[in-house]
Amino acid sequence: MNGSAMSGAAMNGAVALTVMPVGSISSSMPALSETPPSEGSSAPPVLAYIGAGSNLGDRAGCLARAAGLLSEHQRVKVLRASRIYETEPWGYHDQPRFLNMILEVATDLVPLELLDVLQGIENALGRKRFVRWGPRTVDLDLLLYDGLAIDEDRLTIPHPRMWDRGFVLVPLAELIPDLMTPAGERLGDLVRRPEVSRGVVPYPAGCAIP
């Protein structure tokens, strides 16, 4: 992806997405494509990063099942996973601790198609929406997609709150430490700050991805 403005339209059903490159992200994410793939196309896959969280029931099992369902999708390949972290709840504090991890995937799905897949997996794993930022069996957020910036009703990428959240940044830094933040800081350096990594502790059990 070059740094110049690009007006592209990725179609998903009747909904047009306006996509623009994000210089700081595209320059530090491996550039796999010049434009987002179109729906149903056989465009080359792009890299995307998915944040997974769970704080109800068998938390590690929920993360493993989510990763397994994602890897079963024909057009999504799970390439790498961060380790799992146990994290203090962010936003709504009166709830159990979360387990969080990040998945790196290659996909030729357009962003809204990928969001549909993630929400389908949330529903399959019994996700109920009671309270915003409240407890959930599994939450799958699309954090980054091929260095693109998207701002639509159903989807904002990069995920609008990711830069404030140690439970996203610490595991993401394992996978892409050279990512530059919007403030121009290297992610691997940012997460060394105690205020960023506070309340984010490696969880002993791993997550086997089929």
Question: From the list 87, 108, 114, 147, which residue makes contact with ligand A4P (rule: CB under 6 A)?
Answer: 87
Can you tell me the distance from the alpha carbon of 145 to that of 50, in angstroms, rounded to the nearest whole number?
9
- Active-site entry in 139, 146, 189, 192: 139
Q: Is 156 in the site for ligand A4P (CB under 6 A)?
A: yes
Owner of token pair 């994410």: 29
The verdict on whether 141 is a catalytic residue reads: yes
**Closest alpha carbon to 159 in 173, 148, 175, 170:** 148
Residue 49 interacting entry, from ligand A4P, Mg ion, none, C-beta within 5 to 8 Å by type: none
Instruction: State the minimum distance, in angstroms, from the CB of residue 111 to ligand A4P.
Output: 8
The closest residue (CB) to Mg ion is: 139
**Secondary structure class of 165 (helix, strand, coil):** coil
The verdict on whether 153 is a catalytic residue reads: no
Question: From the list 78, 159, 171, 190, which residue makes contact with ligand A4P (rule: CB under 6 A)?
Answer: 159
Contact flags string 60-79 toward ligand A4P, x per CB under 6 A: --------------------
Question: From the list 91, 120, 182, 210, which residue makes contact with ligand A4P (rule: CB under 6 A)?
Answer: 91
- The answer to whether the CB of 144 falls within 8 A of the CB of 158 is yes
**Which residues lie below 8 Å from residue 125, measured CB to CB, with a gap of 6+?**
62, 65, 66, 69, 137, 138
Question: From the list 102, 167, 170, 187, which residue makes contact with ligand A4P (rule: CB under 6 A)?
Answer: 167
Name the helix (H) or strand (E) containing 115. Answer: helix 111-124
- Active-site entry in 108, 127, 146, 165: 127
**Which residues lie below 8 Å from residue 103, measured CB to CB, with a gap of 6+?**
49, 50, 52, 67, 70, 78, 80, 81, 82, 209
The binding site for ligand A4P (CB under 6 A) comprises 53, 87-91, 98, 100, 115, 129, 132-133, 139, 141-142, 154-157, 159, 161, 167
